[in-house]
Amino acid sequence: MIPKERVLTAVARREPDRVPIDYSANAGIDRRLKEHFGLNSDDHEGLLMALGVDFRRVGAVYRGPKLHPDLPERGIRVDAWGIHRRWVEHETGGYWDFCEWPLKQASVEQVQTWPMPDPDDFDYAGIGQDCDRYRDYCIVCGGAGWPDVINTCGMLRTMEQVLVDLITDDTAGLRLIQRRNDILVEVARRTLEAAGGRIDLMCLGEDLGTQRGPTIGLELFRRHIRPPIQQFVALADRFSIPVMIHSCGSSSWAFDDFIEMGIDVVDTLQPEATDMAPEYLKRRFGDRLAFHGCISTAGPLATGTAAETVRYCREILETMMPGGGYCFAPTHQIQDNSPTENIVAAYKVAGELGRYE
């Protein structure tokens, strides 16, 4: 099979020739893997080919005006939505972490006038060319930031305040959610139109769990989180493409709703979280959902040896492969604390042991 066929067969919960493979990692991991494979620092396509990755991502780039000034005197970068980030070092690398939440105490009027990107200011012109370039691969649009209500609105308002907004039906918080979602849905629509029917999968995201259980209750999910997600699912349905949704933590409590909404694939699948064990997910939902993830970035990939990583990946494959419906992928971006040899071993075993008879 070509990669596109392989992924779509798995998404349809059938057995392809081998398990589809996906990849996501921090910049430090990217750099080390390119060095390992003898690739140039800008050769991302070469890295995906070396790892056997079956997915390719396309999207529109914001080209509009700078809506919010950076604050270089405090080391803060501010993006088009007004999200503030500051570089924070840790022992194996660093992150542009979130800081200074500008809409924490905002009124409805302040939310309504807060500068946000205009869908007209995104560049859709290159999407068709990218689709042509990646025509043999599973072409993906979107990502964990569509609509990502709790996380991304929390980057402007604090996560605590967003959760309070949801519980109390706070008008300012709900207006922020709706304004942002309207923009993202329109960007998604124009992206799909620019692709001319060549996008194969829409990816969404909404972190719904901690390691121990749900972040919010099912009633609250249905009242405020499900409707924005459903707008994207309806759009994908208009273009006849399946939908995959990312959710960190213990999120299987929402999977029956995902199925009812028309979602086809669930991503992340942190095996250490409550009710997220691969065996449980496969048994409980395997006849109705496909799976993407399960390779924990907090497990042997980060903390074990290469041999332990191989053993772990083999166990995941043995559990998730039968009957199809599984894509091999890390639970999150692979973090800088993961040894290079472990990552190489994981992808090698996926290519070798992920084959169906």
pLDDT tens digits, 280-290: 999 999 999 99
Binned at pLDDT 50, 70 and 90, residue 93 comes out as: confident
Mean pLDDT of the chain: 97
Tell me if 127 is assigned to some domain: yes
The answer to the question of residue 93 being in a domain is no
What pLDDT, on a 0 to 100 scale, did the predictor assign at position 7? 98
Report how many domains make up the chain. 1
User: Which class for 277: exposed (0-12), middle (13-18), buried (19 or more C-beta within 10 A)?
Assistant: middle
Q: Name the token pair of 37.
A: 């494979």
| Kind of pairing between the strands at 84-90 and 76-78 | antiparallel
Domain limits for position 166: 3-67+109-353
Reading the block at residue 244, the tokens are: 């995959």
At residue 330, φ and ψ (nearest 5 deg) are: -70, 155
Residue 92 domain-assigned (yes or no): no
For the entire predicted model, the pTM comes to 0.97
Checking if the pLDDT of 243 tops 90, the result is yes
Does the pLDDT at position 60 exceed 90? yes
The mean per-residue pLDDT over the stretch 41-66 comes to 98
Contacts of 255 (CB under 8 A, 6+ apart): 266, 284, 285, 289
Residue 90, pLDDT above cutoff 90: no
Q: What percent of the chain has pLDDT over 90?
A: 98
Q: Which pLDDT score is estimated for 91? A: 86
91 domain-assigned: no
Rg of the chain's alpha carbons, rounded to an integer?
A: 20
Q: What is the CATH number of the domain that holds 280?
A: 3.20.20.210
- Let me know if residue 160 belongs to a domain: yes
